[in-house]
Amino acid sequence: MFRKTGPGMLIAAAFIGPGTVTTCLRAGVEMGYALLWALLLSVVATIVLQEMAGRLGLVTRRGLPTLIRQRIPIPWLRVSMVGMILIAIVAGNAAYEAGNIAGGVLGLEALAGNSLGGFYPWICGALAFLLLWMGSYRALEKVFTVLVLLMSLSFLITAVVVRPDPGALLRGLFTPEIAGDSLFTVLALIGTTVVPYNLFLYTALVTEKWKDSDALGGMRRDIFWSVAIGGIVSMAILVTAAGSGMTSLSGVLDLTEALEPVYGKAARYCMGIGLFAAGLSSAITAPLAAAYVARQTFDWPPDRGDWRFRGTWILVLLCGVLSLSLDFRPLEVIYVAQIANAIVLPVVAVFLWWMIRSRKLMGEERNSAARDLLAFIVIGIVTLLAGKTLFSIIQSL
């Protein structure tokens, strides 16, 4: 099994983080099964974008930041894009890392109680540090395969336990509807799956996994199945919430408390394992993505042991552990990072589309007319998502 997995498992593990768990739970509690179609749409959008990113990386053997530096001829535009990417991915991931580790902490609390709660952030941080420091690319690939399988089994078992209504589930999956004020929830579900830093991460990782563009078929299978599995996990979380009978949600652990009296401790343990795996996986991929972006932006040597590469992911990880331990949230940094991420996603998607259509750069692997149409639709979706994010930020100021 491990021989057939690729970096797609890291992408799946990255987007099934605490934010995804919370958003899917809230959507299930508030809207039932009605928004399952939005998760299906988000899976398709993610596969389209990640396949383009992987194809670009395999054919050119370069990462997105490198291509941006080399292919954008207007100096001010090039500098602006690189600066925005550094803010969104490096500073942004540092600001969000506390939330990733918090997911792992919630999982530990569900499994072992909160008597040692003060140590949980350091336990999660230490595990992430050891895996990043000691793990080769191949070792990380195996770890993330295990984490994704843990999440899949945990959340799928929990979804089966609540005995969902099959008819309502199928209607929610294949009958798109946006009722009342659910548009923002739809965009939030898409936004938790279509993650900007995953585009940068996958472009970098495919060149480590495969050594030439002949591996395009393997790359496509890798990203399709990995993202599909990730989407099924997200759907299982939503289904669990929809079938739980809850009418409100103030925190992720509310669901475990609601399920335990009816379905026993097994439901609590399944949720706990899933939450821990989701938090730990995101706590590893966010620093890793930041380090890859910094390396390609500043043209560091392609060596995972380089002190600058390691220093970047250590800094991001440390920011998360300290922020959570000290109960400190750098709100200004988070706001700036959210704005940068909202802008970066559609801009990078357009740049990716432009690059992938270049005959000079891509040769026979350039986009076909059908892929162009799909990419155009996805860019429209991520542009809507960016507008929603900016609107939400402005409203909260």
- What are the structural domain ranges in the chain? 2-396
pLDDT higher at 18 or 48: 48
Contact 386, 346 (CB under 8 A): yes
* Closest residue by Cα to residue 131 from 155, 108, 112, 104: 104
Q: Is the confidence at residue 56, as pLDDT, over 90? A: yes
Q: Is the confidence at residue 300, as pLDDT, over 80? A: yes
If you average pLDDT over every residue of the chain, what do you get?
87
Helix (H) or strand (E) holding 48: helix 36-60
Whole-number pLDDT of residue 333: 65
Question: What is the mean predicted confidence (pLDDT) over 307-323?
Answer: 95
At 105-118, the pLDDT tens digits run 988 988 888 777 78
Q: Is the confidence at residue 145, as pLDDT, over 90? A: no
2-396: what CATH class?
A: mainly alpha
Whole-number pLDDT of residue 4: 61
pTM across the whole model: 0.90
- Percent of the chain topping pLDDT 70: 94
Question: What is the mean predicted confidence (pLDDT) over 13-36?
Answer: 89
* Closest residue by Cα to residue 268 from 278, 287, 253, 249: 253
Give backbone dihedrals phi and psi of 35, rounded to 5 degrees, phi first. Answer: -110, 20
Position 338 confidence tier, pLDDT thresholds 50, 70, 90: low
Question: What is the mean predicted confidence (pLDDT) over 126-130?
Answer: 95
Distance in angstroms (rounded) separating the CA atoms of residues 2 and 142? 6
Q: Is the confidence at residue 285, as pLDDT, over 90? A: yes
At 158-179, the pLDDT tens digits run 888 888 889 999 999 999 888 7
Position 330 confidence tier, pLDDT thresholds 50, 70, 90: low
Distance in angstroms (rounded) separating the CA atoms of residues 42 and 275? 21
| Six token digits for residue 273 | 């394992």
The long-range contacts involving 322-328, CB below 8 angstroms and separated by at least 24 positions, are 323/97, 323/98, 324/98, 324/101, 324/102, 324/105, 324/121, 325/118, 325/121, 325/122
Whole-number pLDDT of residue 1: 47
Q: Enter the DSSP assignment of 175.
A: S
Give backbone dihedrals phi and psi of 318, rounded to 5 degrees, phi first. Answer: -65, -40
* Closest residue by Cα to residue 311 from 283, 297, 282, 291: 291
Q: Is the confidence at residue 384, as pLDDT, over 90? A: no
Distance in angstroms (rounded) separating the CA atoms of residues 386 and 371? 22
